[in-house]
């Protein structure tokens, strides 16, 4: 994945090869890029909070959908994967709590980059594990 400070660029390392999941991942990466651009542009905190909430809500829908698709594919690491989603959800909830009514744009920048890091690390890790399952 190519990274600039504010943007993650989608590439084939991030592709599961399951189009519906790849579309959702691409959408989440785009939303996270939008949040980081908005922070860099100095948008009002209430608008930033709205973007963060949208990422959180879209991620929750996506996790549930991804787990059902992986269950259908009889993915053997599904239970562990669901636990990773629970952990990621808790981390995103914590970011949302910290950012509630947050005025300091420097802190927003740190949290925006943290959201990107959490999500992209999870995505690259899950694609790697899933492709190993397909190779067996």
CA–CA dist 84, 25 (Å, integer) = 16
Residue 12 near residue 121, CB atoms below 8 Å: no
* Contact status: 126 vs Fe ion (CB under 5 A): yes
Q: Which is nearer to Fe ion, 9 or 68 (CB)?
A: 68
Question: Mask: binding to Fe ion, 2-31, rule CB under 5 A, as x and -?
Answer: ------------------------------
List Cβ neighbours of 94 (8 Å cut-off, separation of 6 or more): none
Helix (H) or strand (E) holding 103: none
| Choices 20-28, 95-103, 109-117, 120-128 (CB under 5 A): range interacting with Fe ion | 120-128
Give the binding site for Fe ion (CB under 5 A). 126
């Amino acid at each position: 994945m190519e990274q600039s400070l504010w943007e993650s660029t989608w590439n084939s390392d991030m592709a599961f090869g399951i189009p519906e999941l790849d579309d959702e991942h691409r959408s989440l990466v785009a939303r996270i890029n939008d949040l980081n651009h908005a922070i860099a542009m100095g948008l009002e905190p209430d608008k930033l909070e709205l973007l963060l909430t949208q990422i959180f809500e879209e991620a929750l829908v996506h996790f549930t959908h991804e787990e059902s698709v992986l269950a259908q594919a009889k993915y053997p690491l599904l239970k562990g994967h669901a636990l990773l989603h629970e952990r990621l959800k808790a981390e995103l909830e914590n970011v949302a709590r910290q950012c509630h009514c947050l005025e300091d744009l420097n802190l927003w920048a740190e949290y925006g980059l943290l959201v990107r890091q959490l999500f992209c690390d999870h995505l690259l890790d899950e694609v790697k594990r899933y492709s190993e399952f397909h190779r067996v």
